[in-house]
């Protein structure tokens, strides 16, 4: 988490090499796409490993950390993709499907309005802001990229983007 925060701070700087006039480093965008996809990919084995099952406390802590690290990655990707870059479809397209799946997961569990944090007396949950970060990345990546637009259509991403 600390490393992600540091990368986020460096990328957010206006004078950062990653966001300078020449555009983002495509390898950095592809790296974060690959890592996000790996974080949310289903396990490769179908057999549960009883010895590796975490305690309920550890699982609860990981659930929050997973959401926070995903939001931080999406924030970094949102900054990096705000300027056009040529990206490798083999690394980006699986990310689109993984992100749409995560947005679908949090859309059903998160019923509050995106901008209602200050207006509501409900406590803010850890998923707050996830959808807006994901929509920013999807919008930036789909802009002028027909392959990403097709991937969004194929995995049902338009519904997620357009529905509240």
Half-sphere exposure in the Cβ direction for 90 (13 Å, CA): 1
pTM here is 0.75
For residue 22, the 8-state DSSP code is T
For 23, phi then psi, to 5°, come to: 95, 175
Residue 96 is predicted with a pLDDT of: 93
Averaged pLDDT score across all residues of the chain: 78
Per-residue pLDDT averaged across 49-66, rounded?
71
Helix (H, G, I), strand (E, B) or coil at 161: helix
Per-residue pLDDT tens over the stretch 94-114: 999 999 999 988 775 555 555
Per-residue pLDDT tens over the stretch 18-42: 544 555 578 888 999 998 888 887 6
3-state secondary structure labels for all residues of 97-153: HHHHHHHHHHHHHCCCCCCCCCCCCCCCCCCCCHHHHHHHHHHHHHCCCHHHHHHHH
């Amino acid at each position: 988490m600390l490393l992600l925060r540091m990368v986020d701070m460096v990328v957010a700087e206006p004078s950062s090499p990653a966001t300078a006039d020449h555009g983002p480093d495509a390898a950095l965008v592809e790296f974060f796409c690959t890592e996000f996809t790996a974080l949310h990919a289903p396990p490769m084995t179908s057999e549960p490993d009883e010895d590796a099952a975490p305690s309920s406390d550890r699982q609860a802590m990981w659930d929050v950390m997973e959401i926070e690290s995903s939001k931080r990655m999406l924030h970094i990707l949102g900054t990096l993709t705000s300027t056009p870059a040529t990206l490798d479809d083999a690394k980006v397209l699986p990310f689109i499907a993984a992100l749409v799946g995560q947005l679908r997961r949090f859309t059903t569990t998160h019923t509050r309005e995106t901008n209602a944090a200050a207006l509501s007396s409900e406590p803010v949950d850890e998923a707050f802001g996830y959808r807006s970060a994901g929509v920013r990345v999807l919008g930036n990546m789909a802009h002028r990229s027909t392959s990403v637009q097709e991937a969004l259509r194929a995995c049902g991403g338009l519904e997620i983007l357009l529905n509240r």
